[in-house]
Protein backbone atom coordinates (compact mmCIF):
# COMPACT_ATOMS: atom_id res chain seq x y z
CA UNK A 1 0.00 0.00 0.00
CA UNK A 2 2.85 8.26 1.18
CA UNK A 3 2.53 16.19 4.01
CA UNK A 4 4.20 17.28 6.94
CA UNK A 5 7.63 16.99 5.43
CA UNK A 6 6.89 19.57 2.72
CA UNK A 7 7.81 22.49 4.98
CA UNK A 8 10.88 20.75 6.38
CA UNK A 9 12.03 19.86 2.87
CA UNK A 10 11.75 23.49 1.81
CA UNK A 11 13.70 24.60 4.88
CA UNK A 12 16.36 21.98 4.23
CA UNK A 13 16.75 23.14 0.65
CA UNK A 14 17.00 26.76 1.81
CA UNK A 15 19.65 25.91 4.40
CA UNK A 16 21.59 23.88 1.86
CA UNK A 17 21.41 26.67 -0.69
CA UNK A 18 22.58 29.20 1.89
CA UNK A 19 25.44 26.94 2.90
CA UNK A 20 26.54 26.57 -0.70
CA UNK A 21 26.57 30.33 -1.22
CA UNK A 22 28.51 30.93 1.98
CA UNK A 23 30.98 28.06 1.57
CA UNK A 24 34.33 28.27 -0.18
CA UNK A 25 34.24 27.69 -3.91
CA UNK A 26 35.59 24.14 -3.59
CA UNK A 27 32.91 23.21 -1.04
CA UNK A 28 30.27 24.70 -3.31
CA UNK A 29 31.51 22.52 -6.16
CA UNK A 30 31.34 19.44 -3.92
CA UNK A 31 27.79 20.30 -2.86
CA UNK A 32 26.82 20.90 -6.46
CA UNK A 33 28.27 17.54 -7.41
CA UNK A 34 26.27 15.88 -4.64
CA UNK A 35 23.05 17.50 -5.82
CA UNK A 36 23.74 16.32 -9.35
CA UNK A 37 23.66 12.72 -8.07
CA UNK A 38 20.04 12.96 -6.92
CA UNK A 39 17.80 10.61 -8.86
CA UNK A 40 14.17 11.63 -9.39
CA UNK A 41 11.20 9.46 -10.29
CA UNK A 42 7.75 10.87 -11.01
CA UNK A 43 4.96 8.32 -11.23
CA UNK A 44 1.18 7.93 -11.28
CA UNK A 45 -1.23 5.01 -11.28
CA UNK A 46 -4.93 4.82 -12.06
CA UNK A 47 -6.43 1.94 -10.04
CA UNK A 48 -9.91 0.44 -10.02
CA UNK A 49 -10.02 0.55 -6.20
CA UNK A 50 -7.67 1.31 -3.31
CA UNK A 51 -6.95 -1.80 -1.24
CA UNK A 52 -4.34 -1.74 1.55
CA UNK A 53 -3.32 -4.86 3.47
CA UNK A 54 -6.53 -6.60 2.50
CA UNK A 55 -8.77 -3.68 3.51
CA UNK A 56 -10.80 -1.71 0.97
CA UNK A 57 -10.03 1.95 1.57
CA UNK A 58 -11.81 3.30 -1.53
CA UNK A 59 -14.27 1.03 -3.31
CA UNK A 60 -14.16 3.06 -6.54
CA UNK A 61 -11.49 4.21 -9.00
CA UNK A 62 -8.59 6.29 -7.68
CA UNK A 63 -5.49 7.99 -9.02
CA UNK A 64 -2.25 7.65 -7.03
CA UNK A 65 0.57 10.00 -8.10
CA UNK A 66 3.91 10.31 -6.38
CA UNK A 67 7.51 11.53 -6.42
CA UNK A 68 10.68 9.81 -5.21
CA UNK A 69 14.08 11.44 -4.60
CA UNK A 70 17.09 9.16 -4.08
CA UNK A 71 20.72 9.81 -3.19
CA UNK A 72 23.30 7.19 -2.21
CA UNK A 73 20.79 4.83 -0.61
CA UNK A 74 18.74 7.56 1.04
CA UNK A 75 15.23 8.05 -0.41
CA UNK A 76 12.29 10.33 0.18
CA UNK A 77 8.91 9.44 -1.33
CA UNK A 78 5.78 11.60 -1.55
CA UNK A 79 2.59 9.66 -2.41
CA UNK A 80 -1.08 10.66 -2.64
CA UNK A 81 -4.45 8.97 -3.12
CA UNK A 82 -7.08 10.88 -5.07
CA UNK A 83 -10.64 9.50 -4.91
CA UNK A 84 -12.34 10.11 -8.25
CA UNK A 85 -15.87 9.60 -6.90
CA UNK A 86 -17.75 10.58 -3.73
CA UNK A 87 -17.97 7.03 -2.38
CA UNK A 88 -16.14 8.02 0.83
CA UNK A 89 -17.54 11.57 1.06
CA UNK A 90 -20.97 12.09 -0.53
CA UNK A 91 -21.01 15.15 -2.78
CA UNK A 92 -17.22 15.52 -2.69
CA UNK A 93 -15.61 14.21 -5.87
CA UNK A 94 -11.88 14.37 -6.67
CA UNK A 95 -10.92 14.22 -3.00
CA UNK A 96 -7.36 13.76 -1.76
CA UNK A 97 -8.07 11.22 0.95
CA UNK A 98 -4.51 10.34 1.90
CA UNK A 99 -0.97 11.67 1.65
CA UNK A 100 1.99 9.59 2.76
CA UNK A 101 5.66 10.49 3.19
CA UNK A 102 8.36 7.86 3.37
CA UNK A 103 11.98 8.48 4.37
CA UNK A 104 14.21 5.43 4.03
CA UNK A 105 17.80 4.23 3.78
CA UNK A 106 18.85 1.08 1.99
CA UNK A 107 22.21 -0.69 1.81
CA UNK A 108 23.84 -4.05 1.12
CA UNK A 109 25.76 -5.26 4.20
CA UNK A 110 26.69 -8.58 2.57
CA UNK A 111 26.47 -10.29 -0.79
CA UNK A 112 22.93 -11.44 -1.41
CA UNK A 113 21.34 -9.33 1.34
CA UNK A 114 19.68 -5.93 0.91
CA UNK A 115 18.45 -4.07 3.99
CA UNK A 116 16.19 -1.03 4.22
CA UNK A 117 15.01 0.97 7.21
CA UNK A 118 12.57 3.87 7.21
CA UNK A 119 9.57 5.73 8.50
CA UNK A 120 6.20 6.38 6.87
CA UNK A 121 3.96 9.27 7.85
CA UNK A 122 0.32 8.80 6.81
CA UNK A 123 -1.93 11.88 6.75
CA UNK A 124 -5.64 12.17 5.96
CA UNK A 125 -6.33 15.79 4.93
CA UNK A 126 -10.02 15.47 4.02
CA UNK A 127 -11.37 13.19 6.74
CA UNK A 128 -9.76 14.96 9.68
CA UNK A 129 -8.45 11.66 11.05
CA UNK A 130 -5.28 11.93 13.09
CA UNK A 131 -2.07 11.15 11.18
CA UNK A 132 -0.08 8.08 12.10
CA UNK A 133 3.52 6.97 11.70
CA UNK A 134 5.03 3.57 11.00
CA UNK A 135 8.66 2.59 11.42
CA UNK A 136 9.82 -0.33 9.32
CA UNK A 137 12.72 -2.52 8.39
CA UNK A 138 13.03 -4.96 5.50
CA UNK A 139 15.44 -7.63 4.33
CA UNK A 140 15.56 -8.92 0.75
CA UNK A 141 17.52 -12.09 0.04
CA UNK A 142 19.21 -12.96 -3.26
CA UNK A 143 17.51 -16.34 -3.46
CA UNK A 144 15.01 -17.87 -5.87
CA UNK A 145 11.84 -15.73 -5.90
CA UNK A 146 13.68 -12.92 -4.02
CA UNK A 147 11.98 -13.42 -0.62
CA UNK A 148 11.53 -10.13 1.26
CA UNK A 149 10.57 -9.83 4.92
CA UNK A 150 9.27 -6.45 6.12
CA UNK A 151 8.36 -5.58 9.71
CA UNK A 152 6.22 -2.50 10.45
CA UNK A 153 5.66 -0.86 13.83
CA UNK A 154 2.87 1.71 14.18
CA UNK A 155 3.82 4.24 16.88
CA UNK A 156 0.65 6.39 16.83
CA UNK A 157 -2.75 4.99 15.85
CA UNK A 158 -2.59 1.31 16.78
CA UNK A 159 0.76 0.84 18.53
CA UNK A 160 0.83 -2.50 16.75
CA UNK A 161 3.06 -4.71 14.62
CA UNK A 162 2.47 -5.89 11.04
CA UNK A 163 4.78 -8.32 9.25
CA UNK A 164 4.77 -9.08 5.53
CA UNK A 165 6.58 -11.84 3.64
CA UNK A 166 6.68 -11.33 -0.14
CA UNK A 167 8.12 -13.22 -3.08
CA UNK A 168 8.36 -12.33 -6.75
CA UNK A 169 10.02 -12.95 -10.05
CA UNK A 170 10.62 -10.86 -13.16
CA UNK A 171 10.73 -12.17 -16.72
CA UNK A 172 12.10 -10.35 -19.77
CA UNK A 173 9.63 -11.04 -22.57
CA UNK A 174 11.43 -8.82 -25.04
CA UNK A 175 13.92 -5.98 -25.07
CA UNK A 176 11.21 -3.54 -23.97
CA UNK A 177 8.55 -5.71 -22.32
CA UNK A 178 8.79 -7.36 -18.91
CA UNK A 179 6.48 -9.52 -16.79
CA UNK A 180 6.41 -9.23 -12.98
CA UNK A 181 4.76 -11.85 -10.78
CA UNK A 182 4.40 -11.50 -7.02
CA UNK A 183 2.72 -12.85 -3.92
CA UNK A 184 2.67 -11.94 -0.27
CA UNK A 185 1.19 -12.78 3.12
CA UNK A 186 0.78 -10.54 6.15
CA UNK A 187 0.49 -11.11 9.91
CA UNK A 188 -0.64 -8.65 12.58
CA UNK A 189 -0.43 -8.67 16.35
CA UNK A 190 -3.52 -8.08 18.46
CA UNK A 191 -2.93 -4.31 18.72
CA UNK A 192 -2.80 -4.00 14.92
CA UNK A 193 -5.82 -6.22 14.39
CA UNK A 194 -7.85 -4.54 17.14
CA UNK A 195 -7.08 -1.10 15.70
CA UNK A 196 -8.07 -1.96 12.14
CA UNK A 197 -10.64 -4.74 12.55
CA UNK A 198 -11.80 -4.69 16.17
CA UNK A 199 -10.37 -8.19 16.65
CA UNK A 200 -8.14 -8.35 19.72
CA UNK A 201 -5.86 -11.27 18.85
CA UNK A 202 -2.78 -12.14 16.83
CA UNK A 203 -3.66 -13.50 13.39
CA UNK A 204 -2.68 -13.89 9.78
CA UNK A 205 -4.17 -10.80 8.16
CA UNK A 206 -4.02 -10.91 4.38
CA UNK A 207 -2.61 -12.47 1.25
CA UNK A 208 -2.17 -11.17 -2.27
CA UNK A 209 -1.08 -12.34 -5.70
CA UNK A 210 -0.26 -9.98 -8.55
CA UNK A 211 0.87 -9.86 -12.15
CA UNK A 212 2.06 -6.89 -14.14
CA UNK A 213 3.49 -5.96 -17.52
CA UNK A 214 6.02 -3.15 -17.89
CA UNK A 215 6.81 -1.59 -21.27
CA UNK A 216 9.73 0.76 -21.85
CA UNK A 217 8.33 3.62 -23.95
CA UNK A 218 11.57 5.61 -23.97
CA UNK A 219 14.91 5.62 -22.17
CA UNK A 220 13.45 6.93 -18.88
CA UNK A 221 9.71 6.43 -19.45
CA UNK A 222 7.84 3.24 -18.57
CA UNK A 223 4.19 2.18 -18.75
CA UNK A 224 2.67 -0.56 -16.62
CA UNK A 225 -0.56 -2.52 -16.47
CA UNK A 226 -1.28 -4.80 -13.50
CA UNK A 227 -3.88 -6.90 -11.75
CA UNK A 228 -3.97 -7.97 -8.08
CA UNK A 229 -6.12 -10.28 -6.02
CA UNK A 230 -6.17 -9.52 -2.28
CA UNK A 231 -7.97 -11.41 0.45
CA UNK A 232 -8.18 -11.49 4.25
CA UNK A 233 -7.16 -14.75 5.91
CA UNK A 234 -8.36 -15.11 9.50
CA UNK A 235 -12.08 -15.85 9.83
CA UNK A 236 -12.68 -13.16 12.47
CA UNK A 237 -11.07 -10.52 10.26
CA UNK A 238 -13.08 -11.65 7.25
CA UNK A 239 -16.32 -11.38 9.22
CA UNK A 240 -15.36 -7.87 10.38
CA UNK A 241 -15.46 -6.44 6.83
CA UNK A 242 -18.12 -6.45 4.16
CA UNK A 243 -16.06 -8.00 1.37
CA UNK A 244 -12.77 -9.69 2.31
CA UNK A 245 -11.70 -10.72 -1.22
CA UNK A 246 -11.02 -8.13 -3.92
CA UNK A 247 -9.76 -8.24 -7.49
CA UNK A 248 -8.50 -4.92 -8.81
CA UNK A 249 -6.17 -3.58 -11.47
CA UNK A 250 -4.70 -0.48 -12.95
CA UNK A 251 -2.32 1.25 -15.30
CA UNK A 252 0.66 3.44 -14.53
CA UNK A 253 3.38 5.70 -15.93
CA UNK A 254 6.77 6.52 -14.46
CA UNK A 255 9.52 8.89 -15.59
CA UNK A 256 13.02 8.92 -14.12
CA UNK A 257 15.78 11.46 -14.48
Q: Answer yes or no: are the C-beta atoms of 70 and 39 closer than 8 Å.
A: yes
Domain count, the chain: 1
Residue 106 CB-density burial (10 A; 0-12 exposed, 13-18 middle, 19+ buried)? middle
Sign (positive or negative) of CA dihedral 153, 154, 160, 164:
negative
User: pLDDT value at position 92?
Assistant: 87
91: left (phi over 0), alpha (psi -120 to 50) or beta: left
The CATH number linked to 163 is: 2.40.160.40
User: pLDDT value at position 243?
Assistant: 86
Q: What is the mean pLDDT of each run of 10 residues along the chain (257 residues)?
A: 39 42 60 87 98 97 98 98 95 94 98 98 92 98 98 97 98 98 98 97 98 97 98 97 94 98
User: pLDDT value at position 29?
Assistant: 73
Q: Name the residue range of residue 103's domain.
A: 5-256
CA–CA distance, 173 with 178 (Å, rounded to integer): 5
Amino acid sequence: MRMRKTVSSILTMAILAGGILAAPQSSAREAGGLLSEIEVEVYAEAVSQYVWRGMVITDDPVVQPGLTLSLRGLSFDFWTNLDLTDVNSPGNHYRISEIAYTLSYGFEPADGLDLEFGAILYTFPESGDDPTTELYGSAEFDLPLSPTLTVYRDIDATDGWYVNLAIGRDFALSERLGLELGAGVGWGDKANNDGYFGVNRHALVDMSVSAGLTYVLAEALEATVFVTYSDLIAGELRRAVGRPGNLFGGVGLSYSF
